[in-house]
């Protein structure tokens, strides 16, 4: 079984600040990490590898620095890493990103494609489902448990807001992982040694199987008209009264402003 994990390098959003003038993220000096849901996806792929001997390939679209995330994935236990990187991908929205990743997947032999549910910087949760659509394969989102129950069959538990659904699916299939799926492992010390000798395959737009008009800015129908940062609120009012009086006071204030 071949498993491909789509893995995005993201800025650690606990460290990110917004430039109030431009409304864009200040990325300088911000550490990058593997997108958390993608780590859960990778962990599950590695568990399946341990149980079945599957091969695990990590795939990322991004600038050359994204190799750091791919190396970390290999230190966790991934067998191969592919970075697709090209100026032709610049300005990609989610549709162009998913087209590029699907183009790379068409060059690979895969049974299971894992993605995270969503990336913490973009937060759209669109890329995984879009890849499945481009490839014409079934998808199960919000996956919280995976069992390999046959040569070409998985039994998957999908989370709903108020319960779960158990689905049997034949491969090839795309699954999107949520944090409830597992607890990602740390990098393996013995894999860390020699990690920088390991080769990462880098593909350009010419190496993948996709119509080039679907890539980058020209393949991106999303247009950002305006972005804004929330203005900071005032300090509020501290009410130093006994609890009952304070509650009545708060209620009267809310009524005054027609909130209740």
Ligand X SMILES: Cc1cc2nc3c(=O)[nH]c(=O)nc-3n(C[C@H](O)[C@H](O)[C@H](O)COP(=O)(O)OP(=O)(O)OC[C@H]3O[C@@H](n4cnc5c(N)ncnc54)[C@H](O)[C@@H]3O)c2cc1C
Q: Applying CB under 6 A, which residues contact ligand X?
A: 6-8, 35, 37-38, 60-62, 90-94, 97, 101, 115-116, 118-119, 121-128, 220, 222, 224
If the CB atoms of residues 135 and 244 are measured against ligand X, the closer one turns out to be 135
If the CB atoms of residues 149 and 204 are measured against ligand X, the closer one turns out to be 204
Which spans in 1-109 are helix H? 36-52, 67-76, 94-105
Q: How far apart are CA 4 and CA 105, in angstroms?
A: 8
In the structure encoding, which two tokens stand for residue 20, read together? 């109030």
Return the residue nearest ligand X (CB atom).
122
Q: How far apart are CA 123 and CA 121, in angstroms?
A: 6
* Tokens 């990098």 found at: 187
If the CB atoms of residues 227 and 254 are measured against ligand X, the closer one turns out to be 227
Q: How far apart are CA 136 and CA 173, in angstroms?
A: 9
If the CB atoms of residues 45 and 154 are measured against ligand X, the closer one turns out to be 45
Coil/strand/helix, residue 32: strand
If the CB atoms of residues 61 and 173 are measured against ligand X, the closer one turns out to be 61
Residue 15 belongs to what H/E stretch? none
If the CB atoms of residues 121 and 207 are measured against ligand X, the closer one turns out to be 121
Quote the Cα angle for 210-126-71, to 5°: 70
Rounded least distance, CB 105 to ligand X, Å: 11
Q: How far apart are CA 149 and CA 144, in angstroms?
A: 16
Coil/strand/helix, residue 120: coil
If the CB atoms of residues 201 and 220 are measured against ligand X, the closer one turns out to be 220
According to DSSP, the β-strands at 153-160 and 163-170 are: antiparallel
Rounded least distance, CB 176 to ligand X, Å: 7
CB distance 154 to 148 below 8 Å: yes
Rounded least distance, CB 41 to ligand X, Å: 6
Rounded least distance, CB 194 to ligand X, Å: 25
Q: How far apart are CA 63 and CA 9, in angstroms?
A: 9
Rg (CA), the chain: 22
């Amino acid at each position: 079984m071949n498993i491909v994990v789509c893995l995005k390098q993201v800025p650690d959003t606990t460290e990110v600040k917004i430039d109030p003038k431009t409304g864009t993220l200040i990325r300088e000096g911000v550490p990058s990490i593997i997108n958390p849901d993608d780590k859960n996806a990778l962990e599950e792929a590695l568990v399946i590898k341990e149980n079945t001997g599957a091969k695990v390939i990590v795939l990322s679209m991004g600038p050359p620095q994204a190799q750091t995330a791919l190396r970390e994935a290999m230190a966790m236990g991934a067998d191969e890493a592919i970075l697709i990187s090209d100026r032709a991908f610049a300005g990609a929205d989610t549709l162009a990103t998913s087209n590029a990743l699907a183009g790379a997947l068409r060059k690979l032999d895969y049974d299971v494609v894992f993605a995270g549910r969503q990336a913490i910087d973009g937060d759209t949760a669109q890329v995984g489902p879009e890849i499945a659509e481009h490839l014409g394969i079934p998808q199960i989102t919000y996956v919280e448990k995976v069992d390999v129950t046959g040569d070409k069959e998985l039994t998957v538990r999908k989370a709903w807001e108020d319960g779960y659904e158990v689905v049997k699916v034949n491969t090839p299939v795309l699954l999107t992982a949520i944090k409830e799926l597992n607890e990602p492992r740390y990098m393996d010390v013995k894999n860390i040694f020699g990690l920088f000798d390991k080769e990462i395959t880098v593909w350009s737009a010419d190496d993948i199987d996709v119509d080039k008009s679907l890539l980058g800015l020209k393949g991106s129908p999303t247009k950002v008209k305006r972005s804004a940062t929330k203005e900071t609120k005032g300090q509020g009012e501290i009410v130093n009264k006994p609890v009952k009086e304070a509650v009545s006071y708060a209620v009267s204030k809310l009524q005054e402003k027609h909130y209740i």
